Structure 1
């Protein structure tokens, strides 16, 4: 049995939403998600982000823009985790 992680799946390394003074993250990418599914999730998130930014700008609504910023951090964590898994670096 190999200690190598499975190929083409997320590693679950990237964390996000660090709260307060603690270095602990509130959320983390789950390990074992196939890249194809993770990319699909990022694609959906990016479409939501695009809508929130457009509406937030149009309506001058900082809550919508804040939500877009939060979702972009989620999308980035997923993409970072995929890239780490693809390149084999932690």
Structure 2
């Protein structure tokens, strides 16, 4: 079953840290685009942290990874709810 994501939205229900949250009603195609950029940054930062033995960068990688995971979980909720409602 192919899912058209053009009209799907984030749910805004997945917590990460109190300072950060996934906003409701962001189109999933935009969210996927932002997620791709975020994951690219995380990958680059993780490589740099490992090569330079940079603990601060390693901590940033963990925080950014949590943000990416929260976004993925919320996007999954949006797709699941859209499939159930059809």
TM-score (norm 2): 0.82
Gaps of 5+ in 2: 1-6
Which of 65, 68, 72 is the matching residue for 1:72? 65
What is aligned with 1:10? 10
Query: CA RMSD of the aligned region, Å?
Result: 1.4
What is aligned with 2:54? 61
Deviation string 1:35-69 (CA, Å, 9 cap, x unpaired) is 00100111001111011110000000011111111
What is aligned with 2:4? none
Larger relative helix fraction: 2
TM-score (norm 1): 0.79
Paired residues for 1:1-90 under 5 Å: 7-17=7-17, 25-88=18-81
Deviation string 1:70-89 (CA, Å, 9 cap, x unpaired) is 11111111110010111128
**Structure 1 stretches (4+) deviating beyond 4 angstroms?**
none
The whole-number CA distance in structure 1 between the counterparts of 2:64 and 2:46 is 11
- How many residue pairs get aligned? The number is 76
Gaps of 5+ in 1: 1-6, 18-24
